[in-house]
Amino acid sequence: MKIWIIWTGYVWLIQAIWLAKLGFDVVSLDIDEKKIEDLKNWIAVIYEPWLKELLAEVKENIKFTTNYKDLNDCEIIFVAVWTPQDKRWRTNKDFIHKASISIKQNLENNDKVIVIKSTVPVGTNKEVSEILGEWFEVVSNPEFLREWKAINDFFEPDRVVVWFWKNVKWKTKEKIRKLYNYFIEKNIPYIETTWETAELIKYAANSFLATKISFINELSQLADKVGADIQELANGIWLDKRIWKSFLNAWLGYGWSCFPKDVKSLIHQFSENGLKGNIIEAVDNTNQNQLNYFLNKIENFYDDLDWKNLLVLWLAFKPDTDDLRESRAIALIQKLQEKGAEVVWYDPLEKARENVRTFYPEINVIDDLQNVDFSKINWIIIATEYESFNDLDWENIFSKISMPVIFDGRNILDKNKIKKIGFIYKKI
């Protein structure tokens, strides 16, 4: 079966590679010529652990192009374009509308199945179907991959959700089942539902995870005030199997555009339907607030930041990714710099450092921690949760650092070990 994937964005490229690995004949299109040129030379244009290796493995089954005309060979066309937020944080559907129009203009009318992979607000599948007309069957199936774990997530998803239009043809259902047969055979839950339900599933899932994060973050502020330990508290609640432990880490708040953008889009979807999403609005506010809480913690340690030299460890929105979008580390540092702090930044991933240099040229990034003159560093701030951070030579750093203070925004360090060395250790 020949499959077409439109847009070689972040998780979508991973999806294309995995479908190729499953033996499907995949063609991936992007209107960005440079990106396609790189991919034709087998350069993985994004960073994800194992992606480069996988791309090399599937060369036989995957092709890249910028030409919509070739689409006619394909039975199933995935539309996986980016749906960013507009200035008021509503979902911008321009890319999805443009892709639909291009399909309509370039394809013959012969029973093609269009699968919408993008995260889209309620009503979008209907709009796409109206743009495309009766010869195209619109099916949508949301994406639950996480960056950094995307490769694993694709082959071992918790569920596959397929959104059908109520009257979808039997033939279309069969095609999609064939596509996902690998998962169906492994008994991974396969949900078929209507457009409206399905459109909300992705927003509800991301917003629920964001709710867990904001809940524990809000509680961390009370815990801090009364002298309770938020990590122990979280352990104490998740041992109840009904609660479950994931996404109960009180950190600096969630980053990257999926949670921030999907939470905000859901708030708009409530209000566009004459309702108020009270919980989800509070989740969003708490997330903004958590960064300020951590900043206050730093500021209150000393009154004036002007003379402080800070080393901030890790920049991306989470470990092993080069993605800086909505990174809490970057938001934190910008606030610190506004207050006059001199900041040196480091991320272990070369690609993340490259991206910082491209998008934030004003930031002082270092390539090797060995090059840091610790005698000039007053504090260290940890902003992204790399476990490997525990393996740094802390005794050596302690012997050189001007002021041995660590603010751990990810509660990642072994508190006892760090305190024993002599550091003043502040966490969330």
Contacts to ligand UGA by CB under 6 A: 11, 119, 143-147, 206, 209, 213, 247-249, 251, 254-256, 258-259, 317-318
Name the active-site residue from 6, 258, 381, 413: 258
- Which residue has its beta carbon closest to ligand UGA? 249
Closer residue to ligand UGA (CB): 139 or 330: 330
With respect to ligand UGA, which residue has the nearer C-beta, 18 or 256? 256
Largest separation between any pair of C-alpha atoms in the chain: 72
Q: From the CB of 74, what's the least distance to ligand UGA, in Å?
A: 24
Instruction: State the nearest-atom distance from the C-beta of 257 to ligand UGA, in Å.
Output: 8
> Is the sign of the CA dihedral 162, 193, 257, 229 positive or negative?
negative
- Burial (CB count within 10 angstroms: exposed 0-12, middle 13-18, buried 19+), residue 75: middle
* Nearer to ligand UGA among residue 233 and residue 372 (C-beta): 233
For the bound state, the minimum distance from the C-beta of residue 322 to ligand UGA, rounded and expressed in Å, comes to 13
74 catalytic residue (yes or no): no
E-strand ranges in 66-118 read: 76-79, 112-116
Q: Enter the tokens of residue 385.
A: 């949760």
Name which of 172, 359, 327 is nearest 254 in CA terms: 327
Total Cβ atoms within 10 A of residue 340 = 11
**Closest approach of Cβ 213 to ligand UGA, in Å?**
4
Q: How many residues does the chain have?
A: 428
Spatial CA neighbour of 216 closest among 170, 183, 248, 179: 248
Query: Closest approach of Cβ 79 to ligand UGA, in Å?
Result: 15
Residue nearer to ligand UGA on the CB measure, 58 or 145:
145
DSSP state of 379: E
Kind of pairing between the strands at 160-164 and 136-140: antiparallel
Indicate the residue among 116 and 401 with the shorter CB distance to ligand UGA.
Answer: 116
Contacts with 166 (C-beta within 8 Å, 6 or more apart), sequence order: 194, 195
CB of 110 to ligand UGA, least distance (A): 32
Q: Which of 50, 247 has the CB closer to ligand UGA?
A: 247
Name, in order, each residue with C-beta under 8 angstroms of 27's C-beta and a sequence gap of 6 or more.
Answer: 2, 3, 4, 5, 62, 63, 64, 65, 70, 73, 74
Sheet holding 76-79: strands in order across?
62-65, 25-29, 2-6, 76-79, 112-116, 136-140, 160-164, 190-194
Work out how close the CB of 68 gets to ligand UGA at its nearest, in angstroms, rounded to a whole number. Answer: 25
Nearer to ligand UGA, 6 or 397 (CB): 6
Q: Per-residue DSSP letters for 294-332? A: HHHHHHHHSS--TT-EEEEE--SSSTT----TT-HHHHH
Residues identified as active-site: 258
